A and B are shown apart, each in its own frame.
Chain A
Amino acid sequence: MRVAVVGAGPAGVRAVEQLVRAGLRPVWIDEAPDGGGRIYQRPPAGFHRTPKALYGWEGGRAAALHATLDALKPQVDWRPETLVWNIQPGLLDPGRLDTVRDGAVEQLGFDAAILCTGAMDRVIPIPGWTLPGVTAMGAAQIALKTQGCAIGRRVAFVGSGPLLWLVAYQYMKSGAGIAAVIDTTPWRTKLHALAGLRDGAATLAKGAWYVARLRAAGILVREGATPIAIEGEDGVTGLRWRDASGVEQRLDCDALALGWGVRPETQLADLAGVPMRFDAPSHLWVPQRDAAGRSAVPGLYLAGDGAGIGGADVAEMAGARAALALQEDAGMKADVELATRLDRRLHAQARFRAALDRAFPFPARLAATMPDATILCRCEAVRAGELRQAARADAATGAAPEVNRAKAFTRIGMGRCQGRICGAAASAVLADALGCDVTEVGRLRGQAPVKPLPMPMPIPAGTP
């Protein structure tokens, strides 16, 4: 049986571990050179901070995952620095993955595949967000983690979610200059959602600990605040924002990180024909799967944040569980005891996830009410006003009733990133302009290639 695993983050590593344990030798594909996913991404050779320094409280988990990953590489068909740019699900014929590595394309057949495609930052465009110096929240962390750099000398952190506190704290500890931490969620929202749960209380406690240390260092931390606009000409010079009492404020900064949690990378699942559903608590479109990771497409399994946001620990469990499901479905002898244990623990985690979603709600109003002049789609430089125009019944093309039609009319989400960055905000703006629920305008469909695919380069002279 040919099994493929896409992704070598927490879910992918634990999936492959179980497949190898069952005697399989999967093809294992990852875009990064050294696996680990985004959360446990390793710096290139030549860096030497310890896992504790790189990953904080998760240092032990990261080190364990890396050790497993490295031990598995020789036991599988390991293909790093490889993009799966297209997937054709196996229905009657075997499935196929189209890959590209350094310009060389290849097609791989599979009987079963586990997609562990991970997540990326969820951002809301605000005026000025395309300026040099503005990055996604995760990007600010990646710069520090994998390159040892801060994104500026005086960085403002804007958004909400556990990552906001963590990255600001990591910057402070590394000696970076911090202008402010602007949290759009009021403290009481977080408190109400999290206080009653064991894991929730721990998250709150961590957050309070980070915030206390930031404040102790004299850093401005504000909750329940709203960003208005990023200022600057050739780069960031400041942020205008509104405090919890509605008073407009301004601060100086030369860099700014933006983020409201993360969203799943669902392009491959979408292309494979996995049905998607809108998960209201997280305000995200997620691929449908059962608790063990089975999708409605035979032979296709989903695990980790790419299958719905659960975080790294859940991803490790889900990866292992999906691999066991694959074995069960293939008529192999699977570790039933482990499967049962994982099911129980995954189920228990679901309550905590729901509380996190309530604690850090997606500020849909902030997205829906962005000024007309805001660049909404940064790839194609489409402004919010152009999208609102496409929702008007008297537009030359008539009103776009859903987001893919709006894409057709305005080019929103039509650029290099295929709407990964602006999709959620575009739906919020369109739904608001049409006066309908955000689920009614749908989601941007994926199209191959899921990331840019280069036209072939000429073969250098003298190559045999």
Chain B
Amino acid sequence: MSGVVETEVLVIGGGGAGCSTALHLALRGAKVVLLERGLVGSQASGANYGGVRQQGRHPAELPIAKRSHAIWQDLPRLLGTDCEFVATGHLKLARSAADEADLVAYLDVARDYQLPVRFLDRATLHRDYPWLGASVVAASFAPEDGSANPRLLSPALAQAARAAGAAIREQIQVTACRHENGRFVVEAGDAVFHADTLVNTAGFWGGQVAEWFGEPVPVRPHTPNMGVTEPIPYFIRPNIGVAGGGIYLRQIPRGNVIFGGGRGTGDPAVPFSRATPEATLAAMRKAVEIVPSLAGVSVIRSWSGIDGMMPDGIPVVGPSSTTPGLFHAFGFSGHGFQLGPAIGAILSELVLDGRTDVPLEPLSIRRFQTTP
């Protein structure tokens, strides 16, 4: 379709953050158009591990994570599907005294943010989870956390946004953006879009959008390496993480064990991403260390997707520092799936009310600006 499209709000990027922004804006009556290069949820939002957790999140992210937690529980009403979200709890394991000390230290953070987290010593842990490997010495358990199906969330958010009146445009790539006479002009496909407000939820590619408006950030592509096993009888109920990282795994009630660890490979210019055999094999070895009974169970698929990674491992969320009417939410650094549903609510407040109760200052894009 060619010509000029006029709208109030234009959202660039149809991941979880963008689709939920379109939904919340449309629910409040704003005229909104979302542009997505591929299909919604094709990259990090659709290809991620599916962990929905607050435990271990950076204090700067916790207020958003808590708000998201409430929305996750409300998905059936909001979207007509729960996106297979189950609050199974999140069990974070320690394999050394140092890791154990880190878990203990986080208990204070959790208390400050009213996040329920319980410490489990070695004896309790192995009594309650007898299938854990001997190398695990302690854990902390967050009962509110869990997991969901990442392949469903963005499409369901987009569908609900459509139903609320948003225009979700897929297979259309943004090639240029500028701010002209107080309005945004965005070139995409054969069309030009004019909008009063622009929302940048373009994931890794959000860095390009920010650069168009004179605020470059050091965002790097991040390609988490994911795999899944054949279905086996359901026994791993909690979503499992490990202090220090390197491996995370969860089992869905259907029986498949989904695991991640290390980096895949990819090229954001195509875009293209794929798991690497090295990372998959390393993650398989680590998975068996954590849960020895996975030995002899086969991996049936591996994949990756492209996320944006910030140097400090937390996203950019909030108003632009250069351009009034521009709002960023990108560079989720592997945390976007859980945060996504709240991001839309928060951005819709920023756009329509000019303010939000959620503290965003630590996530401001200004933190990357070098003083001239």
Contact = CB atoms under 8 A, between A and B. Distances in A.
Nearest to B299: A453
Contacts, number: 85
Given A397-B81, A397-B159, A454 B280 contact: no
Interface string A366-396: 0000000000000000000000000000011
Nearest to A404: B39
A447 B159 CA distance: 28
A458 to B, nearest CB: 6
A448 B46 contact: no
A436 to B, nearest CB: 15
A448 B162 CA distance: 35
Contacts of A86: 277
Interface in A284-309: none
Interface string B267-311: 000000011010011001101100010111111111100000000
Contacts of A395: 159
Nearest to A400: B155
B39 A455 contact: no
Most buried by A among B46, B79, B284: B284
Nearest to B157: A397
Nearest to A414: B301
A242 interface: no
Contacts of B288: 455-456
B76 to A, nearest CB: 10
Contacts of B275: 447-448
A449 interface: yes
Given A86-B277, A455-B284, A457-B295, A418 B152 contact: no
A98 interface: yes
A38 interface: no
B243 interface: no
A398 B277 contact: no
B158 interface: yes
Interface in A415-464: 415-416, 418, 447-449, 452-458
A36 B80 CA distance: 53
A205 to B, nearest CB: 44
A456 B300 contact: no
B287 A455 contact: yes
B118 interface: no
A409 B156 CA distance: 10
A418 B79 contact: no
Interface residues of A, number: 28
B14 to A, nearest CB: 11
Contacts of B301: 414, 418, 447-449
Contacts of B295: 455-458
Tell me what chain A mostly uses at the interface: helix, strand, loop, or mixed. loop
A86 B287 CA distance: 20
Contacts of A415: 230, 300
Contacts of A98: 277
A452 B292 CA distance: 18
Given A397-B155, A416-B300, A455-B296, A448 B39 contact: no
Interface string B149-163: 001100110110010
Contacts of B287: 455
Interface in A78-95: 85-86, 88
Nearest to B230: A416
Given A396-B79, A396-B80, A455-B295, A418 B300 contact: yes
Contacts of A88: 277
B229 interface: yes
Contact of B296 (A85, A409, A454): A454
A342 interface: no
Given A448-B280, A456-B284, A397 B298 contact: no
Contacts of A85: 277
| Interface size, B (range) | 20 to 34
Interface in A395-415: 395-398, 401, 405, 408-409, 414-415
Given A396-B159, A398-B159, A455 B299 contact: yes
Nearest to B168: A398
A217 to B, nearest CB: 43
Interface in B177-201: none
B1 to A, nearest CB: 17
A105 interface: yes
A107 interface: yes
Interface string B339-354: 0000000000000000
Query: Which of B151, B152, B277, B299 has the most chain A CB atoms closer than 10 A to its own CB?
Result: B277
A416 B230 CA distance: 6
Contacts of B230: 415-416, 452
Contacts of B159: 395-398
B46 A447 contact: no
B151 A408 contact: yes
Contacts of A458: 292, 295
Nearest to A88: B277
A397 B156 contact: yes
Contacts of B81: 396-397
A405 B300 contact: no
Contacts of A105: 281
A137 B284 CA distance: 36
Interface in B239-291: 274-275, 277, 280-281, 284-285, 287-288
Interface string B84-122: 000000000000000000000000000000000000000
A396 B300 contact: no
A401 B158 CA distance: 14
A126 to B, nearest CB: 24
A455 B46 contact: no
A409 B300 contact: no
Given A107-B277, A396-B79, A397-B156, A408 B46 contact: yes
B302 A398 contact: no
Given A396-B156, A416-B230, A457 B300 contact: no
Contacts of B292: 458
Interface in B38-83: 39, 46, 79-81
Contacts of B300: 415-416, 418, 449, 452-453
B277 A455 contact: no
A105 B298 CA distance: 13
A395 B295 CA distance: 39
A41 B288 CA distance: 36
Contacts of B294: 455
Contacts of A456: 284-285, 288, 295
B228 to A, nearest CB: 9
A409 B152 contact: yes
A67 B21 CA distance: 67
Which of A86, A409, A448 counts the most B-chain CB atoms under 10 A from its CB? A448
A88 B276 CA distance: 9
22 contacts: A86-B277, A397-B81, A397-B159, A398-B162, A408-B151, A409-B151, A414-B301, A416-B230, A416-B298, A416-B300, A447-B303, A448-B277, A448-B301, A448-B302, A449-B302, A452-B298, A452-B300, A453-B280, A454-B299, A455-B296, A456-B284, A456-B285
Can you list the 7 inter-chain pairs with the closest CB atoms, starting with the nearest?
Answer: A452-B298, A397-B155, A408-B151, A396-B81, A398-B159, A98-B277, A396-B80
Given A396-B156, A447-B303, 10 more contacts: A396-B80, A409-B155, A447-B275, A452-B230, A454-B297, A455-B229, A455-B297, A455-B298, A457-B296, A458-B295
